[in-house]
Structure 1
């Protein structure tokens, strides 16, 4: 009985811990995640380049901006417009903090909305490091 109670205690503690963040190790890992989240095949090279330049393939990346807003996660989604800090909010109707775990589904939904409204030009990293430049070769992915 005591073992059962201890096991339940560890289970509850584990459930209360924040979700793990992920560091993608290769472009092909990123491509797999993008495909799982329904990104168009003809845009994958741009998305991989964007993710490399914005977050260095880290789901837990954050960046504080001069205007006081923060960029979150793999796609560096901005708190001023797209997500709510400490609450569900922004145009993506998501908590910013949920964008820095290893679940890329909510990040992907939000990135697709941003792309639908503004294209890749919404991301300065894509503008400076990807637009008009050689994109990653993902042919073996």
Structure 2
């Protein structure tokens, strides 16, 4: 029984650090993070197709052995470090991209966008070009 209680506490603690955004919650948070309004539908589409709006999403291992992390599915080959210290191009730990505070993830996503535009994300390339979600009620 003791082990079950400890497991439940750890599971709750882990889960409480993650967030599943509704579409409008995501729009409001992206606005708060300074994402430009003229690209908001693209960012929402990207997030919906990459992580289903879950901050704690860790993708399957890619063909090159890398993984994608968080709301924006940021890749650990180039952008985040799996070590105990921040690193790579975004100077961030991959684990920092999995929490409900999306500040670091947003900063990194904007850096990726500045360098590669939306072409860096397969979710956007495969699902969003010419077909963007309606966020007018948000």
Normalising by structure 2, what TM-score?
A: 0.86
Paired residue for 1:51, among 34, 47, 51?
A: 47
Partner Cα separation in structure 1 for residue 63 and residue 51 of structure 2: 18
1:7-46 aligned at under 5 Å gives the runs 20-24=17-21, 26-46=22-42
Partner Cα separation in structure 2 for residue 53 and residue 88 of structure 1: 26
> 1:140, CA displacement in angstroms?
1.2
> 1:123, CA displacement in angstroms?
0.2
Aligned-residue CA RMSD (Å): 1.6
Deviations 1:114-141 (A, max 9, x none): 0000000000110000012x21111111
For structure 2, list consecutive stretches of 5 or more residues without a partner in the other structure.
1-9
Corresponding position of 1:3: none
Paired residue for 1:80, among 61, 77, 80?
A: 77
Deviations 1:77-127 (A, max 9, x none): 000000000231110000001000101000000000000000000001100
> 1:27, CA displacement in angstroms?
1.1
Secondary structure of 1:62's aligned partner: coil
Q: Between Structure 1 and Structure 2, whose CA radius of gyration is higher? A: 1
Partner Cα separation in structure 2 for residue 109 and residue 38 of structure 1: 9
2:51 matched to 1:65? Answer: no
Normalising by structure 1, what TM-score?
A: 0.84
Q: Which runs of 4+ in 1 moved over 4 A?
A: none
For structure 1, list consecutive stretches of 5 or more residues without a partner in the other structure.
1-13
Partner Cα separation in structure 1 for residue 24 and residue 78 of structure 2: 30
Partner Cα separation in structure 2 for residue 69 and residue 97 of structure 1: 14
